[in-house]
Amino acid sequence: MLPSFSETRLKVMDDKPDPGTLSENSEVLFSFGVIADIQYADLEDGYNFQGNRRRYYRHSLFHLRGAIEHWNGEGSLPRCVLQLGDIIDGYNAQYKVSEKSLELVMNTFQMLKVPVHHTWGNHEFYNFSRNYLTNSKLNTKFLEDQIVHHPETVPSEDYYAYHFVPFPQFRFILLDAYDLSVLGVDQSSPKYQQCLKILREHNPNSELNSPQGLSEPQFVQFNGGFSQEQLNWLNEVLTFSDTNQEKVVIVSHLPIYPEASDSVCLAWNYRDALAVIWSHKCVVCFFAGHTHDGGYSEDPFGVHHINLEGVIETAPDSQAFGTVYVYPDKMMLKGRGRVPDRIMNYKKENAFQL
C-alpha cells in the first residue's frame, strides 16, 4: 500500500505579480495553457451524480472561448494548450448529438493560435468508441516528436499516448488512462473481457460505478488504468529524459497521487504509474483533470501533482483555466477564476545551471 503523506507542501502564490508581466530578467523560457473537463452539452444546468454540485453544461463553451481569447491575447503566446479530457458530456450520447457537440467545441478550439493536445477521459468514451476517437480530431498524436535512434520511445498503436518537445530540454508526455477500461471497447473483444475481469475482482457491486464498501475505491467503471506495455514505454521515455537532462511534464485525465485527489477518482493502478515515475529524476509535474474540484500535492520525490478544477462546475461569473510559465528553476501556474496559483520548484539537482 502507498503510505499516506500528511505533510503535503502546498505552495500557493499570494498576491504575486502576473508572471506574464514580469521583466525579461525573470527568464521566462516559455509558457503553456491548461484546461480540463469542459463537458459541453446543449442542456440547461444540472447537477453531478451526488446532486450536490451544479454543472453548467451550456455555459462551458463560453468559458472555453474566454480561455482562448486570453491565451491568444498573451504578449508571448503559449507554446501549446493541454486539454485534460472530458471535452463533451456523456449526456450528448443520450440525446444522439455527440458528433454535433464535438464539432461545436472543436470549431471553438480552431480560434486558438497555438496547437492543442487532447487527452481522453471517460466522457469521450461515453460518446465514442476508441476506434472513432483514433480517427477523430481528438487524436493529436500527429503532434508527437520522435527520438531518432531510440525506437523504444515510440508508443504502440494499442494505446493513445505520445510525447513532444515544446521547448528545448523539456518533454511533455500524454498518457492513456483508459488503456485498461471497459469503456469504448467492443464487448466481445479479449481486451474488454480482461478489463471487466480486473474490475470485477476489485469491485463486487452490481453497479460497477459504485465504490460502496470498496477497500480500493478507484476500481469503478468511470476510471481506468495503464497497461504494462504503456508503463514500459513511459519508463523508456523517462530513461531517455534522465540521460539527456530533460525536464518532463506528464498529462493524464486520471490523477495518480492520493494526496492530491479524491480516492474514488484515481487511476486503477496508480501505484504502478507512481513506481515508474519515482524511479526517475526528470519528472517535474503531473497534470490531471477528472475530479472537477481540483487538488494539489508535492510527493516525497518532489513531483508536483496538479488536478485542475473542471470547467463544467464553474459558475458563469468565474473561470477555470491556467497558464504555466516555465523558468530555469521552477514552473508557475497562474490560475484564472477558481484555479489557484501554484509554484512548482524543480528538484534541487534538476534546476538549470545557467
Answer whether residue 160 shows pLDDT above 80: yes
What is the residue-wise DSSP string for 111-134? T-SS-EEE---HHHHHHS-HHHHH
- Here the CATH number for the domain that contains residue 288 is 3.60.21.10
Over residues 210-223, the pLDDT tens digits come to 999 999 999 999 99
In a domain, 196, yes or no: yes
The arithmetic mean of pLDDT across residues 34-52, rounded, is: 94
Q: Give the DSSP letter of residue 98.
A: H
Question: Residue 59 half-sphere exposure, CB side, CA atoms within 13 Å?
Answer: 17
Long-range contacts of 315-321 (CB under 8 A, 24+ apart): 315/54, 315/56, 316/56, 316/59, 316/62, 319/63, 319/66, 319/67, 320/35, 320/36, 320/63, 321/33, 321/34, 321/35, 321/63, 321/67, 321/70
* Close Cβ partners of 342 (under 8 Å, ≥ 6 residues apart): 11, 12, 13, 296, 304, 306, 332, 333, 335
What pLDDT is attached to residue 3? 36
Asked if residue 12 is part of any domain, the answer here is no
- SS3 assignment, position 344: strand
Residue 11 CB-density burial (10 A; 0-12 exposed, 13-18 middle, 19+ buried): middle
Residue 314 lies in a domain: yes
pLDDT in tens, 279-336: 999 999 999 999 999 999 999 999 999 999 999 999 999 999 999 999 999 999 999 9
Contacts of 152 (CB under 8 A, 6+ apart): 233, 236
The stretch 87-96 carries a mean pLDDT of 98
Average pLDDT of span 80-87:
98
**For the chain, what is the domain count?**
1
The per-residue pLDDT for range 17-40, each reduced to its tens digit, is 454 444 444 699 999 999 999 999
**Inter-CA distances, 52 with 55, 217, 308, 322, 347, Å:** 10, 20, 19, 25, 39
Q: How far apart are CA 292 and CA 288, in angstroms?
A: 10
Q: Is the dihedral of CA 11, 15, 19, 22 positive or negative?
A: negative
Contact yes or no for 344/93 (Cβ under 8 A): no
pLDDT (tens digit per residue) in 54-81: 999 999 999 999 999 999 999 999 999 9
Residue at 350 is within a domain: no
d(CA 330, CA 332): 7
According to the model, what pLDDT value does residue 349 have?
65
Domain, as residue range, for 75: 30-345
- In the 8-state DSSP scheme, what is residue 255? -
User: pLDDT confidence of 11, banded at 50, 70, 90?
Assistant: very low
| Integer Cα distance of 344 and 327 in angstroms | 10
Tens of pLDDT, residues 228-247: 999 999 999 999 999 999 99
Q: Is residue 5 part of a domain?
A: no
Q: Which amino acid type is present at position 162?
A: Y
Query: Can you read off the three cell numbers belonging to residue 36?
Result: 480540463
Residue 3 covered by a domain: no
pLDDT digits (tens, 9 = 90+) for 178-194: 999 999 999 999 999 99
Alpha helices in the chain (DSSP H): 60-72, 91-94, 98-109, 122-127, 130-134, 190-202, 228-243, 270-278
322-343 residue pLDDT tens = 999 999 999 999 999 999 999 9
Is 20 contained in some domain? Answer: no
Domain assignment of residue 2, yes or no: no
- State the pTM of this model: 0.92
The pLDDT tens digits of the residues spanning 122-142 come to: 999 999 999 999 999 999 999
